Amino acid sequence: MEVICFEDRAFYAMIDKLEAYIDSKKPKQTQGDKWVSGEEAMRMLRITSKTTLQKFRDEGKIRYSQPEKKIILYDADSIRDFIEDFTYETF
């Protein structure tokens, strides 16, 4: 078994470079990804009821756009913010 020792500064520098490399490989969010369909919004919220999705929309909890009468698109950022609002820290 071989053991490799690092100074703490070198270890954290290596971790930072690794994080930067991983972030560079992630696909960049395009303008089209900002708005998601109702099915995608329900998947992000982990709900199965269209009524619940409509309730969130009607109460102003998530942003939406209605470019045509039967087409409703949801703002993915507002869905993420809505989920983050209900995040609790453990003790």
Residues near 45 by beta carbon (within 8 Å), at least 6 away in sequence: 52, 53, 56, 79, 82, 83
**Domain count across the chain:** 1
User: In this predicted model, what pLDDT tens digit does every residue of 2-58 receive, in sequence order?
Assistant: 888 889 898 899 999 999 888 888 766 554 578 999 999 999 999 999 999 999 999
Strands, sheet with 71-75, edge to edge from the N-terminal-most edge strand: 35-36, 71-75, 64-68
pTM above threshold 0.75: no
Domain-located, residue 49? yes
Q: Which residues on adjacent β-strands are paired with residue 35?
A: 75
Looking at the domain assignment, is residue 4 inside a domain?
Answer: no
Classify residue 6 by burial, with Cβ atoms within 10 Å: 0-12, 13-18, 19+: exposed
Rounded to an integer, what distance in angstroms lies between the CA atom of residue 70 and that of residue 66? Answer: 8
Q: Is residue 15 part of a domain?
A: no
